[in-house]
Structure 1
Amino acid sequence: MRIAIGNDHVGTEMKRAIAAHLESLGHEVVNFGTDSTERTDYPIYGERVARAVAAGEVDCGILICGTGVGISLAANKVRGIRAVVCSEPYTARLSKQHNNTNILAFGARVVGVDLAKMIVDEWLNASFEGGRHQRRVDMIADIERREECGPEGC
């Protein structure tokens, strides 16, 4: 798979470890994050990864900031993105199975490298189950369309 990765200054070291892990599994990693520990703004990187995922330039994305929350909020502003913040593997797996998430986020100040690798592995190895879950994912897409076009439609 081709996986985008993005991070702010807090996630730089974690990004390096996760990118190396992904590459060891045979994935291609596309770096949209900063490589510096100098203070920067997480919305920049959340949007970059989200736009690449939404455009189909990559298969999915991984985002890292202090908590994973801010960078995922930025990513979720891009139409078609379903970014999830996870601090443990169970939620990561279910987010893919039930919500068809296309971006995973976590916090470098919240989880350690080994736990982050487990979270990533569970998320990547899970598959969307469709069925009753598809209806709910479609409902989320409908909210996006209404937000974009208004209640009367486009």
Structure 2
Amino acid sequence: MKIAIGSDHAGFELKEKIKAFLEDFGHNVLDLGCYSKESVDYPEFGVKVAQAVLNKEAERGILICGTGLGMSMVANRFRGIRAALCHELFTTKMARLHNDANVLVLGGRVIGEALALEMVKVFIDTPFGGGRHERRIKLIDELTKE
């Protein structure tokens, strides 16, 4: 699977660990920055990942900032992006299963590395459940056209 990943400076170290983890499992990772712990503005990287997913340059995206709040706000401004800010495994699984989340958002200062890697695995491995949930995804798109 091709996965776009991006972070700000607060999420840089976790991004690098997630990137290596994904590559170890044979995924193709599109790293859209940032590339160091030097202070940057998170919206730039949230936009890049959202656009990569929308433009089908990647099947899914992962965003990391300090809390995950800023990145989730940026990504969810894009119609067709369903970014899920998750802090544990259950919501990560349900974000995929029920909401067809196409971007996982993590707080690099909120969760530890081991949990983050487990969450990434769940996000990648969990299929969308479809059925009544698909109807609801379409309803979101219809109700938010403008």
Tell whether 2:16 aligns with 1:12.
no
TM-score (norm 2): 0.98
* Residue of structure 1 in register with 2:134 after alignment: 134
Extract structure 1 runs of 4+ deviating beyond 4 A: none
Decide which structure has the larger Cα Rg and report it.
1
Q: Which amino acid aligns with 1:9?
A: H
TM-score by length of 1: 0.93
> Aligned-pair RMSD on alpha carbons?
0.7
Alignment of 1:71-90 (within 5 A): 71-90=71-90
Q: Return the letter of the residue paired with 2:32.
A: F
Gaps of 5+ in 2: none
- In structure 2, the residue corresponding to 1:71 is in which secondary structure? helix
Give the letter aligned to residue 61 of structure 1. G
How many Å separate the matches in 2 of 1:55 and 1:144?
A: 20
1:45-82 per-residue CA deviation (whole Å, 9 max, x = no partner) reads 11100000011111100000001111111011112100
CA distance in 2, matches of 1:70, 1:113: 20
Cα separation, 2, equivalents of 1:49 and 1:34:
11
Identical aligned residues as a percent: 47
1:30 aligned counterpart, secondary structure: strand
Q: Is 1:90–1:122's contact at 8 Å kept on the other side of the alignment? A: no
Tell me, in whole angstroms, the C-alpha distance in 1 between the residues paired with 2:4 and 2:58: 6
Structure 1 position 105, deviation (Å): 0.5
Q: Which runs of 5+ in 1 are unaligned?
A: 148-154
Q: How many aligned positions are there?
A: 146
Quote the residue 1:96 is aligned against. Answer: 96
Aligned to 2:31: 31
Q: Kindly provide the amino acid, as one letter, of the partner of residue 73 in structure 1.
A: M
> Which one is further off, 134-143 or 104-113?
134-143
* 1:88 maps to amino acid: E
Cα deviations by residue, 1:78-116 (Å, 9 ceiling, x for unpaired): 121000001101111111000000000010100111100
Q: SS state of the match for residue 98, structure 2?
A: helix
